[in-house]
Amino acid sequence: MRKRSCKIEAREVEKVFSADSEDEVHALGPLDLQVQDGEFVCLVGPSGCGKSTFLRIVAGLLNPSTGRVDIRINPENPTPISMVFQDYGIYPWKTVEGNIRFGLEISGISKSRTKEVAGHWLERMDLTAFASSYPDTLSGGMRQRVAIARALAVEPEILLMDEPFAALDAQLRQLLQDELLAIWQKEQRTVLFVTHSLEEAIVLGDRVIVMSSRPGKIVLDQKVPFERPRSPELRAQSDFNEFKNELWLCLKGEVEHYLERVNSVEGKIGSNDEG
Amino acid sequence: MKGEAQTDRDLLSRVPTLADTSPRKYNKRRRLIETFLAVGVPGSLIALWQLGFHYEWIDNRFYASPWEIVSSKELREAELWSEMWTSVQRMLKGFFAGSLLGVLLGVLMGVSRLLRAALDSLLTALYTVPKLALIPVFVTLFGFGDLPRIALIAVTVFFFVWISTMSAIMGVEDGYREAALSFGANKWQIFRHVLFPGALPQIFVGLRIAAGVAVLMLIGVELVLASDGLGALIEKGRTLFLPELTYVGIAFAALLGLSFTYLVRILGRVLLPWAPEDQTPNQN
């Protein structure tokens, strides 16, 4: 077991969206969070609780309104952080292989090495036969595999996943969860994973963090009590469901809270309601 | 504007910038800068032009300075304004006729493959014909009045609007069409509720381009058939050796183009509140 150090540290992070002359939306925080090196942390919470917003702040796509996030990285790594999006991630004008190579090309890795790494991930993700296909011709599950391969090919220290499996059907979702589980257990990286699904969070995560409805704060930060390596059969265990129910009780209150607010006066939810 | 204040080589920090801590102040400042640029860039070019005259880098006999243009007696004469009004009327008539026809044919060809097959290559071929070359034909057809001028503007506008309308209609996402079909919508209903509104933002892009082109064509036609209008004024300035008259005409043509394009853009924004704004400098 390698020595664990703090990889991501968020202190009093808040995000307020304010379009001009319109009212402000307090989307997130204040939120304090520490993620250790190599830890798999899942963020769950009702729609609009700011979990994706937080992920985007870590990714550097958004800045916090107050507070700060510090991320320890290896300065030699050209791509210390990569992200998998729910959709819109992969480019329809690039082939499967082209998409996987994208991150490598951006970071300026040599041609031969790029080819080698891309080949490895094509194989790893069972996509070799589709290397020269365009994403439009692939199923949703395969497209998301391409996105994951693209994100992992650059060997990031931190992998950010924003509801990566939300658009997939239940069976495929489970299959990809299992694949991700296997990959992660083989080459541990720090992962921040946003999801709506408690089951997904428990199967994959070392820690599950339940967030409140907007403005998102942490209401529960729970270690997942199941040993690694985990197998897909975990889902059938009785203590798995017990644990899931425990978390659900906590989350339920927040979801109800969210629904109440949606049903009351609030007609307009900002464009960041996935956040 | 990334919030990456790197204090340490192995530390990546996400911290608020001014845009995050006080967005109002930031937006205000940015708008100020944008306004300054929008006024300042043309302003300083004009100043440079004036300076060029002052130090005689530019030949005073053939060219007019901004000050001469603004202070020229033509500006205060009724003649200029009546020429301007003649031109504006022509342009508006041509623009409306051309865009109406363009939208109509664009829509029809957008929905009908057969019509596309029949007319696409023919219209594309005609599109590339320089319209000014058609002046003799149009004069023979429509006589010497306003009609050939208006018709030429209309034809030019037509092609721009036709192409953008057709591709806009064809580009409406299948998902929208299918949703309407699933409710049992008939062809007219699909057109009225889905295809047309879905295509409108793109159609307006075409209209905006056509608005600029209408002014180009207007001046072109009036230069050639120089009896009246802004184009004739410009030509008169050249033949009578009155450079400031020419430049007053050019400046008015530019202003006409600017205001007409803006007008179409504002119209589009008012009529299509749901459409994403395209490359405008006025986002927030």
Domain limit, last residue, from B11, B34, B58: B58
The pLDDT score that the predictor gives to residue B101 is: 97
Task: Say whether residue B133 is in contact with chain A using an 8 A CB cutoff.
Answer: no
| One domain for residues B19 and B159 | no
Across residues A219-238, what is the average pLDDT?
A: 86
Best of B2, B7, B12 to disrupt the A interface by mutation (most A CBs within 10 Å)? B12
| One domain for residues B85 and B190 | yes
Residue A225 has pLDDT above 70, yes or no: yes
| One domain for residues B36 and B17 | yes
| One domain for residues B44 and B94 | no
| One domain for residues B104 and B205 | yes
The pLDDT score that the predictor gives to residue A22 is: 63
What are the angstrom distances between the C-alpha of A14 and each of A66, A184, B152?
Answer: 5, 30, 60
- What integer best gives the mean pLDDT of chain A? 85
B188 located within any domain: yes
Lowest mean pLDDT among A9-13, A95-99, A258-262: A258-262
Query: Which chain B residues touch A66 with a CB distance below 8 Å?
Result: 16, 21
| One domain for residues B93 and B198 | yes
For the stretch B19-32, pLDDT in tens is 888 888 888 899 99
| One domain for residues B142 and B196 | yes
Higher pLDDT pick, A30 / A261: A30
Residue A131 has pLDDT above 60, yes or no: yes
pTM score above 0.80: no
The pLDDT score that the predictor gives to residue B73 is: 74
Task: Say whether residue B274 is in contact with chain A using an 8 A CB cutoff.
Answer: no
| One domain for residues B94 and B46 | no
Domain that includes residue B227, residue range: 66-271
Query: Which chain B residues touch A83 with a CB distance below 8 Å?
Result: none
Higher pLDDT pick, B123 / A214: B123
Cβ of A63 within 8 Å of Cβ of B12? The answer is no
Regions of chain B with pLDDT less than 70: 1-7, 74-75, 277-284
Cβ of B4 within 8 Å of Cβ of A60? The answer is yes
The pLDDT score that the predictor gives to residue B282 is: 36
B283 located within any domain: no
ipTM for the complex shown: 0.72
Cβ of A18 within 8 Å of Cβ of B21? The answer is no
Whose tokens are 């590339």? That residue is: B128
CATH of domain A1-73+158-266: 3.40.50.300
B177 located within any domain: yes
| One domain for residues B151 and B187 | yes
Cis peptide before A164 (omega within 30 of 0): no
The pLDDT score that the predictor gives to residue B283 is: 33
Q: Domain holding B227: CATH number?
A: 1.10.3720.10
State which residue of chain A sits closest to B23, comparing Cα positions. A18
Distance from CA of B281 to the nearest CA of A (A): 15
B20 located within any domain: yes
Number of domains in chain B: 2
B182 located within any domain: yes
Of A58, A63, A81, the CB nearest to B15: A63
What is the Cα B166 distance to its own chain's centre?
19
Residue A272 has pLDDT above 60, yes or no: no
How many CB atoms are located within 10 Å of the residue A185 CB?
A: 13
Cβ of B24 within 8 Å of Cβ of A66? The answer is no
The pLDDT score that the predictor gives to residue A20 is: 58
The pLDDT score that the predictor gives to residue A78 is: 85
| One domain for residues B13 and B71 | no
Of A20, A66, A80, the CB nearest to B12: A80
Residue A169 has pLDDT above 50, yes or no: yes
Long-range contacts (CB closer than 8 Å, 24 or more residues apart) made by B187-194: B187/B111, B191/B107, B191/B111
State which residue of chain A sits closest to B17, comparing Cα positions. A63
B281 located within any domain: no
B278 located within any domain: no
| One domain for residues B72 and B51 | no
Listed by start position, the domains of chain A span 1-73+158-266, 76-156
| One domain for residues B238 and B210 | yes
Domain limit, last residue, from B58, B77, B102: B58
Q: At what angle do helices B147-171 and B113-127 cross, to 10 degrees?
A: 130
Pairing of strands A190-195, A40-44: parallel
The pLDDT score that the predictor gives to residue B23 is: 81
Cβ of A67 within 8 Å of Cβ of B16? The answer is yes
B279 located within any domain: no
